[in-house]
């Protein structure tokens, strides 16, 4: 019979074999924290589960320490419980955009016609289609890299989504005019001078065209509002992500182009969305125009 000391040594060796990555994980968390990663433990878990070898892990860690977005390093981002493919140079979906998704799902009609402008990776449309499977989807983006990434994320859909390259409404089929039930946009809304204050993973690694909203951040919102009436169905809705401080300006842009508007917000997600509609249709149907929070 082995001695208790021998049994203890054997158990210790077995534990070491079962947990070979524990010291590496602790060191990895420390490196990430020193680099300024707020969620270092979560990021360490993602990197460890993604890397196929120690050398690949080291390469990924060096990229992250240099400021590259974690999502572009590992090739995916989590959004609404889904893994969304993210390629280098493409805007990384933020969790706050789930507020826009929630309200789009609440407003969805049977077999809705949905257009997403400034689609980026198409995280919003993919999450929407995972719930509303019979949606007729069209997406546009001015960035060809984003269009390729969106096509990749939506390739499994049937019927297929129309992912189009071009500026806002420009590439949409003319036959969609007056038929769009939901017009969705997480368009750029960062004021030009504020881009320098953004974290390096956004400022240095995401396309400026996906961030820069002009002097007050609302240039693209105004252009979206200006064209919305041509495309919306009579009972359709326009939903645009904004910030709390810019929401009044976004509402003013909607109203300046003949749309009713309301603001919805979420403290949990630190998110704000403006919802617009055609006023005559809202009044005809007797719908409430109460601001929701």
User: Above 50 in pLDDT, residue 1?
Assistant: no
Largest separation between any pair of C-alpha atoms in the chain: 89
Query: Domain total for the chain?
Result: 2
**pLDDT (tens digit, 9 = 90+) per residue, 163-219?**
999 999 999 999 999 999 999 999 999 999 999 999 888 999 999 999 999 999 999
pLDDT of amino acid 25: 86
153 and 242 fall within a common domain: yes
Burial class (CB in 10 A: 0-12, 13-18, 19+), 12: exposed
32 and 164 fall within a common domain: no
Among residues 29, 49, 66, the one where a domain terminates is 66
CA distance 132 to 157: 11
User: Above 50 in pLDDT, residue 22?
Assistant: no
CATH of the domain at 235: 3.40.50.150
137 and 15 fall within a common domain: no
Among residues 66, 82, 103, the one where a domain terminates is 66
pLDDT of amino acid 289: 43
Percent of the chain with pLDDT over 70: 87
Q: Who has greater pLDDT, 1 or 99?
A: 99
User: Above 90 in pLDDT, residue 16?
Assistant: no
Alpha-carbon separation of residue 121 from 77, 84, 177, 282 (angstroms):
10, 7, 25, 32
Q: Which domain holds residue 233?
A: 95-285
Residues 225-229: what's their mean pLDDT? 98
């Amino acid at each position: 019979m082995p001695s208790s000391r021998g049994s203890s040594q054997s158990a210790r060796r077995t534990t070491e074999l079962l947990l070979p990555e524990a010291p590496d994980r602790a060191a990895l968390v420390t490196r990430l924290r020193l680099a300024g990663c707020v969620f270092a433990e979560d990021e360490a878990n993602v990197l460890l589960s993604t890397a196929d070898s120690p050398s690949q892990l080291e390469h990924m860690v060096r990229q992250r320490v240099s400021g590259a977005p974690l999502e572009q390093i590992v090739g995916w981002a989590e959004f609404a419980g889904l893994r969304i493919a993210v390629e280098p140079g493409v805007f990384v979906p933020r969790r706050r955009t789930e507020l826009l998704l929630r309200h789009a799902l609440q407003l969805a009609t049977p077999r809705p016609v949905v257009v997403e402008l400034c689609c980026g990776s198409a995280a919003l449309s993919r999450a929407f289609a995972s719930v509303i499977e019979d949606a007729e989807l069209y997406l546009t983006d001015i960035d060809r890299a984003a269009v390729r990434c969106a096509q990749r994320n939506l390739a499994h859909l049937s019927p297929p989504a129309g992912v189009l390259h071009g500026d806002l409404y420009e590439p949409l089929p003319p036959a969609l005019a007056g038929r769009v039930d939901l017009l969705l946009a997480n368009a750029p809304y960062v004021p030009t001078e504020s881009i320098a204050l953004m974290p390096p993973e956004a400022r240095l690694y995401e396309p400026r065209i996906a961030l820069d909203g002009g002097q007050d951040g609302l240039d693209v919102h105004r252009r979206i509002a200006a064209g919305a009436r041509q495309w919306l169905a009579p009972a359709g809705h326009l939903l645009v992500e904004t910030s709390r401080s810019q929401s009044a300006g976004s509402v003013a842009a909607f109203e300046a182009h003949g749309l009713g508007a309301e603001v919805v917000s979420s403290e949990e997600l630190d998110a704000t969305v403006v919802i617009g509609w055609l006023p005559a249709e809202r009044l005809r149907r007797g719908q409430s125009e109460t601001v929701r929070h």
